[in-house]
């Protein structure tokens, strides 16, 4: 059959409109159609409409009846630490006893624990663990994932992580975008010679560039981790090599990271739980995606980023899981959306904008992903929900019924097919 037609869609969240970041009030314009249909040809959306306009395709189309359900673009998880070995459930008791995230890191646990496990793991062990994670993400409606390295802190393990992600990008239906995050922690042997580690990071990204293994570079700019100056030096170099740049900014301590992200031309600044008002203005001015990670606040029991104020100031917000073994061991992007709505007071329309088109912008993919409109990749999710509000309101469960990527069905009735 030449076409796929999906008809009888109760609510079709198209988000159609211009390419690029949706900011401020525009985040609440999700362009939802009722009683809608769309047409797919060669893996792309070709037509979107309402009523019976699809009937002209009937003779040459596979017709899918959505039975009045909700369809959105494939969800995009724009901030994850996908590839790592092992887990850190032993930190739970420490957390409950009152140790903070930075306390655990300072004691040589936290990220360093996962660095040790990831360094020891074989390529295949890492691949298998990450593939399981991707399967869970796909089952929850995620069709694109950003994957950061940063659990090696030396070249060979960083390369191993990036190669695992690249292999999975080729094997798994989810599209994976690699980010180098060797600037995730200062290894203990460089504690007294930090410039040497920055120099090493620069050497690493030259090699990673040669092997074309990452599109972005990211830095954990935080009190006691990488300073503003170190972040500036490294990201300026990364940019000069042609990488897109990102920052973990103002996660715990307000250091002006968001303003630095604007100054350097970062595509996104992520976390932003402690960002000051004046720094939010800079994000809005620079159209830097404010990539917020509510599951991290939930899991660390810390404050939430002030999404309402950011949107009021004209920022473009994205929402992601921050999936990682320490501060957000959860693949469920629907839950991140629900927490963003319930705890950060974002509307369901803002939240779906944040996990589709704005997330696509933060990965440089908005030409092809993030909306349902003619010319874009036919990535979409059929939810067993009558409308978008219901997806948020019934929280903590998986609403996904079917997932299509590039017009190909990859989840049917909540089960992965053909992988
Ligand atoms: O985004 N903040 C730094 N990195 C991760 C946590 C990584 C870890 O604890 O393993 C984050 O929260
Ligand atoms: Fe992170």
User: Which part of the chain is CATH 2.30.40.10?
Assistant: 3-74+368-416
Nearest Cα residue to atom 3 of ligand 1: 220
C-beta 114 within 6 A of ligand 1:
yes
Contact 122, 357 (CB under 8 A): no
Q: Is the pLDDT of residue 18 over 90?
A: no
pLDDT band at 70 (very low <50, low <70, confident <90, very high): very high
- Whole-number Å distance, alpha carbon 405 to ligand 2 midpoint, is 26
Residue 10: which pLDDT band, with cuts at 50, 70 and 90?
very high
pLDDT at position 107, please?
Answer: 83
In this prediction, residue 19 carries a pLDDT of 75
The two structure tokens encoding residue 249: 């900014």
Q: Which segments within 161-250 are labelled E, that is strand?
A: 175-183, 216-220, 244-249
CB 316 within 8 A of CB 22: yes
* pLDDT of 4 above 90: yes
What does the pLDDT read at residue 230? Answer: 98
CA–CA separation, 290 and 310 (whole Å): 8
Using alpha carbons only, give the angle 19, 20, 22 rounded to the nearest 5 degrees.
Answer: 110
* pLDDT for position 235: 98
Buried b (16+ CB within 10 A) or exposed e, 122-156: eeeebbebbbebbbbbbbbbbbbbbbbbbbbbebe
Using DSSP, state whether 220 is helix, strand or coil: strand
Q: Which residues of 385-401 are buried (b: 16+ CB within 10 A; e: fewer)?
A: bebbebbbeeeeeebbb
Q: For ligand 1, is residue 113 a contact (CB within 6 Å)?
A: no
Q: Write down the pLDDT at residue 106.
A: 83
Q: In the numeric block, which tokens belong to residue 7? A: 């008809």
Average pLDDT, the chain: 97
Q: What angle do CA 142, 148, 150 make, to 5 degrees?
A: 150
Phi and psi (nearest 5°) for 12? -110, 110
Q: Measured from the CA of 328, which atom of ligand 1 is nearest?
A: 12
CA-closest candidate to residue 358, choices 391, 322, 318: 318
Which pLDDT belongs to residue 263? 98
pLDDT digit string (tens) for 205-250? 999 999 999 999 999 999 989 999 999 999 999 999 999 999 999 9
What is the Å distance from ligand 2's center to 251 Cα? Answer: 9
| Å from CA of 401 to ligand 1 middle | 31
Dist CA 95 CA 349 (whole Å): 34
Quick: pLDDT tens for 165-192.
Answer: 999 999 999 999 999 999 999 999 999 9
Span from the CA of 22 to the centroid of ligand 1 (angstroms): 27
CATH fit for domain 3-74+368-416, picks 3.40.50.620, 3.40.640.10, 2.30.40.10, 2.40.160.20 = 2.30.40.10
DSSP code of residue 74: P
Residue 92 pLDDT exceeds 90: yes
pLDDT digits (tens, 9 = 90+) for 292-332: 999 999 999 999 999 999 999 999 999 999 999 999 999 99
Q: Could you tell me where in the chain the CATH 3.20.20.140 domains are found? A: 76-362
Residue-level pLDDT at 172: 98
Q: Which CATH homologous superfamily contains domain 76-362? A: Metal-dependent hydrolases (3.20.20.140)
220 Cα to the center of ligand 2, angstroms? 8
For the cut 90, the answer to whether the pLDDT of residue 102 exceeds it is no
pLDDT tens for residues 326-370? 999 999 999 999 999 999 999 999 999 999 999 999 999 999 999
Ligand 1 nearest atom to the CA of residue 101, by list position: 9
Please choose from 326, 328, 330, 336 the residue to mutate so as to test ligand 1's pocket, defined by most ligand atoms within 8 A of CB: 326
Ligand 1 contacts CB of residue 248 (under 6 A): yes
Those residues with Cβ within 8 angstroms of residue 300's Cβ, 6 or more apart along the chain or in another chain: 95, 101, 327
């Amino acid at each position: 059959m030449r076409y796929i037609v999906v008809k009888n869609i109760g609510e079709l969240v198209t988000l159609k409109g211009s390419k690029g970041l949706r900011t401020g009030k525009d985040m609440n314009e999700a362009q939802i159609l009722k009683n809608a249909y769309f047409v797919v040809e060669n893996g792309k959306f070709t037509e979107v409409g309402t009523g019976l306009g699809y009937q002209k395709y009937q003779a040459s189309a596979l017709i899918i009846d959505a039975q009045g359900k909700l369809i959105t673009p494939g969800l995009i998880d724009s901030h994850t630490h996908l590839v790592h070995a092992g887990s850190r459930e032993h930190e739970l008791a420490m957390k409950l006893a009152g140790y903070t995230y930075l306390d655990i890191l300072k004691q040589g646990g936290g990220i360093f624990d996962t660095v040790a496990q990831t360094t020891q793991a074989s390529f295949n062990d890492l691949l298998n663990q990450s593939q399981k994670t991707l399967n869970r993400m796909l089952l929850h409606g995620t069709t694109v994932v950003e994957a950061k390295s940063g659990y090696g802190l030396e070249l060979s393990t960083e390369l191993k992580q990036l190669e695992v992600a690249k292999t999975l990008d080729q094997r798994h239906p989810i599209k994976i975008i690699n980010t180098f995050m060797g600037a995730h922690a200062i290894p203990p042997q460089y504690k007294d010679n930090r410039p040497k580690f920055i120099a090493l990071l620069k050497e690493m990204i030259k090699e990673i560039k040669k092997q074309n293994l990452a599109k972005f570079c990211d830095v954990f700019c935080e009190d006691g981790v990488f300073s503003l100056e170190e972040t500036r030096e490294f990201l300026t170099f990364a940019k000069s090599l042609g990488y897109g740049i990102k920052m973990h900014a103002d996660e715990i301590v307000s250091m002006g990271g968001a303003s630095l992200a604007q100054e350097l031309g970062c595509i996104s600044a992520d976390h932003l739980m402690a960002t000051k008002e004046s720094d939010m203005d800079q994000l809005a001015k620079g159209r830097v995606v404010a990539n917020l990670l509510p599951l991290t606040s939930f899991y660390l029991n810390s404050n939430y980023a002030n999404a309402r104020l950011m949107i009021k100031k004209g920022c473009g917000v994205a929402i992601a899981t921050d999936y990682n073994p320490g501060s957000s061991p959860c693949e469920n992007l629907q839950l991140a959306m629900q927490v963003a709505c319930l705890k950060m007071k974002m509307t369901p329309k803002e939240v779906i904008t944040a996990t589709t088109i704005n997330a696509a912008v933060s990965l440089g993919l908005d030409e092809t992903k993030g909306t349902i409109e003619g010319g874009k990749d036919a990535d979409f999710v059929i939810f067993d929900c009558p409308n978008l509000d219901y997806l948020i309101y019934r929280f903590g469960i998986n609403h996904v019924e079917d997932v299509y990527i590039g017009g190909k069905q990859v989840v049917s009735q909540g089960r992965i097919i053909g992988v």
